[in-house]
């Protein structure tokens, strides 16, 4: 295979027919929702001398030619105009088409005879005069992908120059490259943090589908070929004839970009919307109902991709209700889809959420393997088992799901989550490519041979033909993912699904150059920030494989350590006064470790070999247990949380170095987000550290846990109107308490400064509740110094770690006897609740101090 890994950065040198103008406009586009808001910025990227023509008339080839034409800029506009000769421009030509079309019209072009569907081949001739370039595909979609690869080239090239080693040829690693959206009919998006649905509103398909076409363009640009629209929960209504007619409009909008529509279906649809008395997968009437329904779908959407199924899971009924297996259910749907070429993605996310916490052998992590491994070999060929990357649920850190090694005769897809449900909900910067890459590269050692997960998906290990990657995207109307830097995750998902050998750094580099700009300082700084972000998040939210210690029965956002325990959901970490962790060993625990092939099981089974970062996932240990590093578990808890919060603050400092180098609107937006994150990382740090200090009774040997110099608690202040309350969970507030202005409109908390004089940064920790925009004023000796409005939309409707927020007033002069005051004005459902103020010497003052 030529240039299989051809997407990396190229060295300068010979300039082929595609010449990089290196005129990337800075910053992200504003205005209507377009793919340009992500990484498909406007023109001035690529100069193509000459005309672009599509050889075929299909919508996909037309989009391809159009896409390339968008990238053309007039050579005269290039600084220096070095390439501008009229003859060159007018006589150059770029053709886009399938290999077959190219061969027919240009028999002298050496287009290979074995290009596969979705594969591309790019070739060119003539760099010193009029050029002739070819973008060929194994099929139309391959040509489109070739165009997007061409479009990416200048961004990955050195400034002003581009060397292309023709021909460029590449194909995707796996045939199934889908995004799943969890959109509801009413326009909400389950676990979506980018605004309301681009597909649905008010129980129907939206009139304006322009954003859908743009989304398909964005997806196609990174090789994604399927999009499942509707939530896997509550999917039944979408199969009604009225809905299907609406979905047809969406399929039509996505088709020109080669993105096929898929949908989630409920197994109980025959009863729910078909009027049948049963949905038993083996019932002939049920079978006939599905066949007729699928025929109806294909009559409207001839290139319909298939179904995704969540069944017998989290309240979604399934085959178990009829005494049938997931294979019975999957094969029923597969049978209906088979004549049309459709597939079934049956999710292995099947588990009992009423487990008995007191049963030390109960283990949710076991469920997927226990249920699906025995069914291996009984699925129809067009069934793909879709398994989440880890055995629980997209936590900050989990081991790889052992099921990938447990299905040898079944096609498999790996499900990852682009939308950051448990990883900061797009309010925290967490670049997930390094996490996904670890899973893809993880060698399961099946049959004691090298079997990295990516090779299982690619069909190299077990020779299954229909492997895939599915990313739960959660896009919405707020610039796709709500946060500009979060788009790196959508980009990375597509690029890894296309080529799992790319590195997260390479992908970050490509994305930054296309999205922000190509200034080398910007590229290296943002790449560093992206690469630091997941470790930082893990450090302050989920240590040593304890998952994400968040509110698992609520928002999945702020800290709430005990919410995981004493319920049936099975996201347990089993902490007590002595120790923490789930014993999943074969010898004394739940036996989950035994689901891995023996060489991997051996590593996890023993405390001596289990990696520290998964220790508590696999073992229950005392707080005094020594890690491989020699540190005790409890000291690691303290250290990693202080480290993580410092790393989050460092992200702000790094971004600040780019102030003059990036678009000002982008700068301000990202800066505000990172500052918020740094404050919330402190909320996380303090919650976890306070909790485990109390639980273990073991002090922090660096003296930080439980000691907060400069902190003035709101409940200890002189209060006017404010009333002290207990915060739940207690660890989410400093000292477990806060004050709230629930009974008055305007309230005050005052402290008298009794320490030495100086200049200080003063952090005000308050709770920003939704349903109102409380006002805060910080004053010294009655003189207002800062004021702000608490108008964020954060989860939870009572003061807790979901909405605890920090506002820092910088460089304030204080002397003994000064009165510090926070005045809060409640609004609507936001009672201007306050936790504390923290007074720290201002770094600027420290810098000014005489040496």
Contact 672, 807 (CB under 8 A): no
The residues, any chain, with a CB within 8 Å of residue 582's CB and separated by 6 or more, are 363, 365, 572, 573, 574, 589, 590, 616, 617, 618, 619, 620
CB of 185 to ligand GCV, least distance (A): 14
Sequential DSSP letters for 3-34: TTTTTS-B-S----SEEE---PPPS---SS--
Going along 369-432, which residue ranges are E strands? 383-388, 411-417
Task: Please pick, from the candidates 152, 310, 477, 821, the single residue that binds ligand GCV as defined by CB under 6 A.
Answer: 310
CB of 648 to ligand GCV, least distance (A): 24
Q: Does 191 bind ligand GCV (CB under 6 A)?
A: yes
Q: How big is the site for ligand GCV, counted in residues (CB under 6 A)?
A: 11
| Phi and psi, residue 841, nearest 5° | -55, 135
Q: Does 355 bind ligand GCV (CB under 6 A)?
A: no
Phi-psi region of 576 (alpha: psi -120 to 50; beta: other; left: phi over 0): beta
Cα dihedral 583/588/591/596 (nearest 10) = 80
CA distance 801 to 667: 27
Task: Please pick, from the candidates 166, 193, 349, 684, the single residue that binds ligand GCV as defined by CB under 6 A.
Answer: 349
The CA–CA distances, whole Å, from 145 to 220, 225, 459, 497 equal 7, 10, 22, 13
CA distance 385 to 344: 8
CB of 353 to ligand GCV, least distance (A): 9
Nearer to ligand GCV, 66 or 233 (CB): 233
67, 181, 393, 830: which one is catalytic?
393
DSSP at 59: H
CB of 796 to ligand GCV, least distance (A): 16
Nearer to ligand GCV, 220 or 330 (CB): 330
Q: Does 364 bind ligand GCV (CB under 6 A)?
A: no
Nearer to ligand GCV, 344 or 678 (CB): 344
Nearer to ligand GCV, 310 or 641 (CB): 310
Nearer to ligand GCV, 310 or 573 (CB): 310
Nearer to ligand GCV, 315 or 323 (CB): 315
CB of 421 to ligand GCV, least distance (A): 6
CB of 180 to ligand GCV, least distance (A): 9
Q: Does 178 bind ligand GCV (CB under 6 A)?
A: no
Sequential DSSP letters for 263-319: EEE-TTHHHHTT--S---TT-HHHHHHHHHHHHHHHHH-TT--EEEE--SBTTB--G
* CA nearest neighbour of 195 among 808, 776, 793: 793
Nearer to ligand GCV, 50 or 482 (CB): 482
Nearer to ligand GCV, 188 or 233 (CB): 233
Nearer to ligand GCV, 182 or 215 (CB): 182
Segment 212 to 241, residues that bind ligand GCV, using CB under 6 A:
231-233
CB of 233 to ligand GCV, least distance (A): 5
| Residue count of the chain | 851
* CA nearest neighbour of 484 among 416, 422, 426, 435: 426
Judged on CB neighbours under 10 Å (0-12, 13-18, 19+), 81 is: exposed
Nearer to ligand GCV, 231 or 560 (CB): 231
Nearer to ligand GCV, 393 or 647 (CB): 393
Q: Does 378 bind ligand GCV (CB under 6 A)?
A: no
361 alpha carbon, distance to own chain's centre? 32
CA distance 65 to 133: 12
Using DSSP, state whether 735 is helix, strand or coil: helix
Query: How many Å from the N-terminal Cα to the C-terminal Cα in the chain?
Result: 63
* CA nearest neighbour of 805 among 645, 683, 686, 671: 683
Sequential DSSP letters for 105-161: H-TTS---TTPPTT-EEEEEE-SSSS-EEEEEESSHHHHHHHHHHHHHHHHHBPTT-
Q: Does 182 bind ligand GCV (CB under 6 A)?
A: yes
Q: Does 393 bind ligand GCV (CB under 6 A)?
A: yes
Nearer to ligand GCV, 182 or 379 (CB): 182
Segment 399 to 458, residues that bind ligand GCV, using CB under 6 A:
421
**Which secondary-structure segment (H or E) carries 396?**
none
**Which secondary-structure segment (H or E) carries 840?**
strand 834-841
Task: Please pick, from the candidates 190, 328, 447, 750, the single residue that binds ligand GCV as defined by CB under 6 A.
Answer: 190
DSSP at 614: G
Contact 822, 778 (CB under 8 A): yes
Cα dihedral 363/368/374/379 (nearest 10) = 170
CB of 802 to ligand GCV, least distance (A): 15
CA distance 206 to 188: 13
CB of 349 to ligand GCV, least distance (A): 5
Cα torsion 398, 421, 350, 260: sign: negative
**Contacts made by residues 82-90, CB under 8 angstroms, sequence distance 24+:** 83/19, 83/47, 83/49, 87/129, 87/130, 88/49, 88/129, 88/130, 88/131, 89/49, 89/50, 90/50, 90/130
CB of 422 to ligand GCV, least distance (A): 8
Contact 306, 344 (CB under 8 A): yes
Judged on CB neighbours under 10 Å (0-12, 13-18, 19+), 252 is: middle
140, 181, 421, 700: which one is catalytic?
421
314, 370, 750, 818: which one is catalytic?
314
314 included as an active-site residue: yes
CB of 572 to ligand GCV, least distance (A): 15
List residues near ligand GCV by CB under 6 A.
182, 190-191, 231-233, 310, 314, 349, 393, 421
By annotation, the residues acting in catalysis are 314, 393, 421
């Amino acid at each position: 295979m030529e240039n299989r890994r051809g997407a990396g950065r190229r060295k300068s040198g010979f300039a082929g027919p595609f010449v990089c103008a290196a005129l990337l406009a800075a910053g992200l586009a504003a205005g209507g929702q377009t793919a340009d808001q992500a990484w498909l910025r406007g023109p001035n990227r690529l100069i193509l001398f000459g005309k672009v023509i599509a050889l075929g008339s299909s919508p996909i080839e037309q989009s391809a030619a159009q896409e390339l034409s968008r990238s053309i800029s007039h050579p005269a506009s290039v600084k220096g105009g070095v390439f501008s000769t009229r003859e060159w421009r007018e006589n150059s030509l770029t053709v886009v088409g399938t290999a077959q079309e190219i061969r027919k019209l240009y028999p002298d072009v050496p287009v290979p005879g074995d290009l596969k569907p979705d594969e591309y081949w790019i070739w060119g001739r003539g760099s010193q005069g009029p050029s002739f370039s070819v973008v060929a595909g194994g099929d139309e979609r391959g040509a489109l992908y070739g165009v997007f690869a061409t479009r990416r080239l200048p961004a990955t090239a050195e400034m002003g120059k581009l060397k292309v080693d023709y021909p460029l040829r590449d194909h995707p690693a796996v045939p199934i490259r889908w995004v799943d959206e969890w959109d509801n009919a009413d326009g909400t998006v389950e676990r979506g943090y980018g605004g309301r649905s681009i597909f649905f509103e008010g129980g129907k398909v939206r009139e304006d589908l322009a954003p859908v076409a743009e989304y398909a363009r964005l997806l196609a640009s990174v090789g994604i070929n399927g999009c499942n629209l509707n939530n896997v929960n509550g999917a039944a209504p979408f199969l009604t004839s009225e809905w299907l007619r609406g979905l047809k409009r969406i399929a039509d909008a996505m088709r020109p970009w080669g993105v096929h529509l898929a949908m989630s279906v409920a197994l109980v649809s025959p009863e729910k919307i078909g009027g049948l008395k049963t949905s038993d997968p083996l019932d002939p009437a049920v079978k006939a109902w599905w066949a007729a329904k699928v025929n109806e779908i294909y009559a409207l959407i001839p290139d319909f991709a298939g179904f995704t199924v969540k069944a017998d899971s989290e309240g979604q009924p399934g085959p178990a209700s009829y005494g049938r297996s997931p294979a019975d259910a999957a094969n029923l749907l597969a049978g209906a889809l088979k004549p049309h070429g459709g597939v079934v993605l049956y999710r292995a996310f099947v588990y009992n959420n009423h487990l008995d916490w007191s049963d030390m052998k109960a283990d949710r992590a076991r469920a997927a393997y226990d249920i699906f491994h025995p069914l291996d070999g009984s699925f129809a060929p067009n069934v793909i088992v879709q398994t989440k990357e880890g055995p629980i649920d997209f936590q900050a850190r989990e081991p790889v799901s052992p099921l990938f090694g447990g299905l040898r005769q079944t096609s498999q897809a790996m499900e990852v989550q682009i939308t950051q449900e448990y990883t900061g909900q797009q309010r925290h910067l967490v670049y997930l490519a390094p996490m996904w890459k670890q899973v893809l590269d993880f060698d399961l050692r099946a049959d004691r041979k090298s079997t990295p997960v990516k090779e299982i998906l690619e069909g190299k290990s077990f020779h299954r033909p229909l492997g895939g990657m599915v990313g739960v995207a959660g896009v919405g109307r707020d610039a796709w993912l709500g946060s500009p830097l979060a788009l790196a995750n959508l980009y990375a998902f597509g690029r890894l699904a296309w080529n799992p050998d790319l590195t997260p750094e390479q992908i970050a580099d490509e994305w930054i150059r296309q999205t922000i700009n190509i200034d080398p300082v910007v590229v290296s700084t943002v790449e560093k920030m992206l690469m630091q972000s997941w470790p930082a998040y893990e450090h302050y939210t989920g240590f040593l494989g304890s998952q994400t210690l968040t509110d698992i029965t609520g928002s999945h956002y702020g800290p709430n350590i005990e919410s995981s325990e004493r319920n049936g959901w099975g996201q347990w970490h089993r902490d007590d006064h002595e120790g923490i962790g789930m014993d999943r060993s074969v010898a004394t625990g739940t036996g989950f470790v035994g689901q891995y092939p023996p060489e991997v099981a051996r590593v996890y089974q023993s405390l001596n070999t289990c990696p520290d970062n998964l220790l508590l996932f696999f073992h229950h240990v005392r707080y005094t247990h020594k890690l491989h590093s020699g540190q005790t578990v409890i000291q690691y808890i303290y250290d990693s949380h202080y480290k993580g919060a410092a790393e989050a603050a460092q992200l702000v400092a790094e971004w600040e170095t780019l102030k003059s180098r990036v678009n000002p609107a982008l700068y301000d937006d990202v800066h505000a987000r990172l500052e918020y994150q740094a404050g919330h990382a402190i909320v996380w740090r303090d919650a976890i550290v306070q909790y485990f200090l109390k639980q273990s009774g073991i002090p922090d040997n660096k003296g930080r846990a439980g000691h907060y110099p400069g902190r003035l608690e709101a409940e200890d202040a002189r209060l006017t109107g404010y009333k002290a309350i207990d915060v739940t969970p207690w660890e989410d507030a400093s000292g477990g308490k806060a004050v709230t202005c629930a009974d008055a409109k305007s309230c005050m908390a005052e402290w008298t400064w009794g320490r030495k004089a100086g200049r200080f940064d003063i952090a005000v920790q308050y709770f920003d509740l939704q349903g109102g925009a409380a006002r805060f004023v910080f004053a010294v000796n009655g003189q207002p110094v800062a004021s702000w409005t608490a108008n964020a939309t954060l989860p939870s409707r009572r003061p807790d770690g979901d909405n605890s927020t920090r506002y820092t007033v910088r460089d304030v002069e204080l002397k003994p006897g000064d009165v510090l005051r926070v005045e809060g004005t409640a609004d609507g459902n936001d009672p201007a609740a306050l936790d504390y103020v923290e007074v720290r010497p201002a770094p600027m003052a420290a810098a000014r101090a005489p040496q």
